[in-house]
Structure 1
Amino acid sequence: MPRADAARNRSLVIDAAAAELAEHGLDVSIARIAVRAGVAKGTVFNHFASKEDLVAAIFCGQLATLTATGETLLGHPSPYQALLEFMTAGTELQVSDRSFCEAATTTSRNHPAVRAASDHLADIAEKLTARARHAGAIRDDITGRDIVLLLSAPTSIATPVAGTRPDLWRRYLHLILDALRPETAHPLPVAAPTTQDFTSASSG
């Protein structure tokens, strides 16, 4: 197959997979993805050895998009507003894509590319969090890993009424950010998760 055709087919598969995963979650079949892409099922496997590899490619793209947003926000004049916009972008991604949160908690985290992309996102989240800490906008014991984990909280909280109140997650995102302010902070009972915690969880 000519290189241009192969590249086109790969792009079709990725676009179709991203759309199917966003709409239906990780249970979507390769056969359904192939139909949406307009290619044979075997073509999918010509580009991705397994469904896990395909999911990993999609998830890495999502992480890269959020990471790029975070990198841009490092130049924002308000550290607190930068953190809010980063968390808003992360939550919006989960609202629009069913597979994002699912992929973050499955064995796809064992995939080397996913782990590398996740670590890069955590690094950017830590830089954004450090700016907010140093500005006195959030409490001193909040880490970037805390922020990454909190990204899934607003949508999880609002899930029971998401059908009738699709924007309710915004209320809880702002409540979470308010809770991170230092004015009424009390000591937390346990330490923040570390990179080693995530590595051990992925390999366990």
Structure 2
Amino acid sequence: MSQTGYETKTGEVVGAQRQDAQRNREAVIAAARVLLARGGVDVSVAEIAQRAGVGKGTVFRHFASKELLVAEVVSEALEGLHARGRALLQNRDPAQALHDFMTDAIALQAADRAFCEIVAGAERNEARIRRAVERLHELVDQLTLRAVGAGVVRPDLTGRDVALLLSGIYQTAAPLASDEPELWRRYLVLVLDGLLPRTMTPLPN
């Protein structure tokens, strides 16, 4: 075989190997996304590997630790919510934008146990997750300040209030989630009514 032919053949083999590796990586992430949403951060690498149809060694070739895999999946969800929030900043109605963001954020917690645990602070060791959570909090500040500036929510509302309420609303309904998965929507409405700029009791400092 000529040198050119050998190089072509080698290139084809390397290309195929890279494609296989990429497919395996995507399969691992897809499996982790489903299992982490269902079981939270305690899901094992063995379970993820089995669902992905690969060995544990393949998982660790792509992610040196389970924490890095969790960070990949949860950061993806955080970035998706951040993108949604950025789009809502363009909404002409600041009250509706804040309402829609809060709804989306709580719905994500209800559907994704790992995301819920991360946002609640159970697991933020990875720098990537910390950065994503910080960016999300900055976005919540922007959405809240915009609503306050428009006079559509009470003037003493802060972004930190909203960020904590996002977790609190879901956690309030969580004990009954298996029988009433949409119960959180009831408490979201109660909270949103409490944010309106009507006759109100001043918040303590």
* 1:74 equivalent in structure 2: 89
Note the 1:62-101 alignment, pairs <5 A: 62-101=77-116
Q: Distance between the aligned counterparts of 2:196 and 2:158, measured in 1?
A: 13
- Pairing 1:6-25 to 2, within 5 Å after superposition: 6-25=21-40
Give the distance between the partners of 1:125 and 1:7, measured in 2 at CA: 35
Contact kept, 8 Å, 1:21 with 1:28, in 2: the verdict is: yes
Count of aligned residue pairs for this structure pair: 190
The CA RMSD measured in Å over matched residues stands at 1.5
When the two structures are superposed, what TM-score results if normalisation uses the length of structure 1?
Answer: 0.87
Q: Residue 38 of structure 1 aligns with which residue?
A: 53
Q: Work out whether residues 145 and 158 of structure 2, in 8 Å CA contact, stay in contact via their aligned partners in 1.
A: yes
* Pair 1:114-2:125 in alignment: no
Per-residue deviation, 1:83: 0.3
Which has the larger displacement, 133-142 or 101-110? Answer: 101-110
What TM-score results when the alignment is normalised by the length of structure 2?
A: 0.87
| Structure whose alpha-carbon radius of gyration is higher | 2
> Which residue identity does 2:188 align to in structure 1?
L
Listed as ranges, the matches of 1:120-135 within 5 Å are 120-135=135-150
Q: Is the 8 A contact 2:110 2:116 kept in 1?
A: no
Give the match's secondary structure for 1:157: helix
> What are the Cα deviations for residues 128-170 of structure 1, in whole angstroms up to 9, with x where unaligned?
1111001111122222232222112222111232233221111
Q: CA deviation at 1:108?
A: 3.5
Task: Name 2:11's counterpart in structure 1.
Answer: none
CA distance in 1, matches of 2:134, 2:121: 16
Report sequence identity in percent: 51
Counterpart for residue 104 of structure 1 = 119
8 A Cα contact 2:45 2:66, kept in partner = yes
Distance 1:186 1:112 in 2: 39
Runs of 4+ aligned structure 1 residues displaced above 4 Å come to none
Matches within 5 A, 1:49-68: 49-68=64-83
For structure 1, the residue ranges without an aligned partner over 5 or more in a row are: 191-204
